[in-house]
Amino acid sequence: MSTQITPQEISARTGVPIAALGRDRFPFVPLDANERMAIQTVLMDGLAHLRRVAPELYDALTDTHPVTNARPNLLELAAIFAGIAKAMLPSQKPYTFPSTPGKLGVAWLFPQAIKPTTATPSGYNVNSWDIPITAGTKAYILGSDSAFYTAPTYSIGGKTYYTAILIFHYGLVEVGSTPSAQQFRLISSAKTDYGIYAVEPLVEVPLDAQKNLYLYPTPMGALFIDYTTGVKWYFMPNRTGTSTMKLLGLVFYEHEAFSDTAYVSTT
């Protein structure tokens, strides 16, 4: 049975600030033990790998937050937003891992989950985390000048299948020799009057010089995107070229949306 949960309640339970963007509550269905295990398996396996290959980035996601003064509980965060995604579906389905027909699945974000068609409003090239950039011209992570971004839906066999996206707090990482931005703006179709936020000047110092990883603070918090409320998230590039901007988070989906591997055709 669906209830309601507020961004403040989510933050209190998880120690993670939430980019509510004008939304004061979400529908919510608690997960049962088997569903939580499915979420836990995917989340913790990814975090374990991240801890091995980029421990500094793992620490950024899991260290005590300077504002909430709490250690982030990413499993609780993921379980809550999985419950929100489930509550927003036209019909209730359980999570499994791996997903099976008629059920819900969860996976770490990958390019085709963000931009499943060339027409999806996002600055990313399809099938990659690369964004073409020009100094002095807005570059969109999500959305475009003319359109808000919503979590993709898929029409298969005359039915619509839904997804939802959770981007972690501190979940924006650039890979490359030179960081691209210091100014960002994040708004939603429900909250369009927010101004910019800027990152501190030493963002150009890599987490690890050998890996060329640059971490961008996300002071508004973790970002949840569904199919009802659109967002625009863009930055002002300080150079021209290509920016490899990776998003760390999860996609929740009806099995049929990703029943097999995906690749976006450009022809």
- The residue count for the chain: 267
Average pLDDT on 175-198 reads: 94
What tens digit of pLDDT does each residue of 90-123 get?
A: 888 999 999 999 999 999 999 999 999 999 999 9
Residue 137 pLDDT > 80: yes
What tens digit of pLDDT does each residue of 153-163 get?
A: 999 999 999 99
By CB neighbour count within 10 A (0-12 exposed, 13-18 middle, 19+ buried), where does 220 fall?
A: middle
Question: For residue 202, what pLDDT band results from cuts at 50, 70 and 90?
Answer: confident
Question: For residue 203, what pLDDT band results from cuts at 50, 70 and 90?
Answer: confident
* pLDDT for the residue 200: 83
What tens digit of pLDDT does each residue of 230-254 get?
A: 999 999 999 999 999 999 999 999 9
Residue spans of the domains in the chain: they are 3-255
Contact 118, 112 (CB under 8 A): no
Q: In 10 A of CB 209, how many CB atoms?
A: 8
Average pLDDT on 132-140 reads: 98
* pLDDT for the residue 252: 98
Residue 187 pLDDT > 80: yes
Question: For residue 266, what pLDDT band results from cuts at 50, 70 and 90?
Answer: confident
* pLDDT for the residue 210: 73
| Structure-token match 């290509």, residue found | 242
* pLDDT for the residue 67: 73
What tens digit of pLDDT does each residue of 6-46 get?
A: 999 999 999 999 999 999 999 999 999 999 999 999 999 99
Chain mean pLDDT for the chain = 94
* pLDDT for the residue 246: 97
Question: For residue 52, what pLDDT band results from cuts at 50, 70 and 90?
Answer: very high
